[in-house]
């Protein structure tokens, strides 16, 4: 065991994410869907601190209610640490302390950020030095959004969302997130999407088995043009999320009435992401949403992926 593993802690910060564009392919024989998405990492962060231990454990704190989170072996951060230990043939464990600021079950990849940060933290703590490529491979085994939490920035995801290609993004985009006081089940939203497509089979085009990201989205990101991006944003999961939780429609209307260039359900919801023209517009929108008794936070993107924070 290295001196670092005997005596030090490691602090890693990983970002939440936003799908500025999400196309979902048709239901495949294995019960899954391929997707085409444009991810952007945003400045709502999860902080993971890892300490040497004989076994694996996790505790939570932070700005959001974490009382419902599991702390047993089903927790994604614990699974990440155990997977790394198994692959690296490391015999010890880790005590994880996670400070959460990304909404739970909110469509922003908070659990995935925890897992990505844990991989980096334990790799550093234990001195296993697997390298980014192997960590990316482990991340893909943990969930579709975990590899992006490792890389951050802006990227196109295909397959299950874990096959990443970097995308150029100029400047900074200003976001306001309306956080719900409830979560949504991603599998349930996907099931509702399939039902929605069945109900409207005569009115909508059949989904492609291999969807792609619209070039207008990539052009907007590359130009750093918020107005252009607002026109191009899309999420196939928005309609089923709104069907399951109609109150989200009122939040979308409220944001767009108060200066947002556009609003979109983040991932499978229920978080709503509003794109603002600039920092002043974002601040005004945050105030308006807060006045309506919604929890609203501002963030910018793109930001870096999981990385060690030097004390």
Catalytic residue among 17, 100, 114, 162: 17
Q: What is the pLDDT along the chain (311 residues), one digit of tens a residue?
A: 443 444 489 999 999 999 999 999 998 888 889 999 999 999 999 999 999 999 999 999 988 888 888 999 999 999 999 999 999 999 999 999 999 999 887 889 999 999 999 999 999 999 999 988 999 999 999 988 999 999 999 999 998 888 899 998 999 999 999 999 888 888 999 999 999 899 888 888 888 888 999 999 999 999 999 999 999 999 999 999 999 999 999 999 999 999 999 999 999 989 999 999 999 999 999 999 999 999 999 999 999 999 999 87
CA dihedral sign, ordered 190, 296, 172, 131: negative
Catalytic residue among 34, 114, 145, 162: 145
Q: Is the previous residue joined to 139 through a cis bond, with omega within 30 degrees of 0? A: no
Prediction pTM value: 0.91
Catalytic, 55? Answer: no
Catalytic, 17? Answer: yes
| Contact in structure between 109 and 303 (CB atoms under 8 Å) | no
């Amino acid at each position: 065991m290295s001196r670092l593993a005997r005596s030090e802690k490691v602090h890693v910060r990983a970002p939440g994410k936003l799908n500025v564009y999400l196309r979902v392919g048709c239901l495949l024989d294995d019960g899954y869907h391929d997707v085409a998405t444009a991810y952007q990492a945003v400045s709502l962060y999860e902080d993971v601190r890892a300490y040497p231990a004989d076994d694996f454990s996790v505790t939570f704190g932070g700005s959001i209610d974490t009382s419902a989170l599991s702390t047993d072996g089903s927790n994604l951060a614990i699974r990440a640490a155990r997977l790394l230990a198994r692959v690296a043939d490391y015999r010890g464990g880790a005590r994880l302390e996670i400070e959460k600021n990304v909404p739970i079950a909110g469509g922003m990849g908070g659990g995935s950020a925890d897992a990505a940060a844990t991989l980096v933290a334990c790799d550093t703590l234990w001195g296993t030095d697997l390298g980014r490529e192997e960590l990316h491979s482990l991340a893909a085994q943990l969930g579709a959004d975990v590899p992006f939490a490792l890389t951050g920035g802006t990227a196109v995801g295909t397959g299950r969302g874990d096959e990443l290609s970097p995308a150029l993004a100029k400047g900074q985009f200003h976001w306001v997130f309306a956080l719900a006081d409830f979560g949504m089940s991603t599998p349930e939203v996907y099931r509702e999407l399939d039902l929605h497509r069945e109900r409207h089979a005569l009115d909508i085009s059949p989904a492609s088995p291999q969807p792609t990201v619209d070039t207008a989205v990539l052009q907007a990101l590359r130009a750093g043009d918020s107005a252009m991006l607002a026109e191009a944003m899309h999420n196939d999961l928005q309609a089923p999320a709104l069907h399951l939780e109609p109150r989200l429609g009122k939040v979308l209307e409220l944001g767009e009435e108060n200066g947002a260039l556009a609003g979109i359900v983040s991932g499978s919801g229920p978080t709503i992401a509003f794109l603002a023209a600039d920092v002043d517009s974002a601040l005004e929108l945050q105030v308006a949403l807060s006045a309506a008794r919604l929890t609203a936070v501002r963030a910018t993107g793109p930001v870096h992926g999981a990385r060690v924070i030097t004390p």
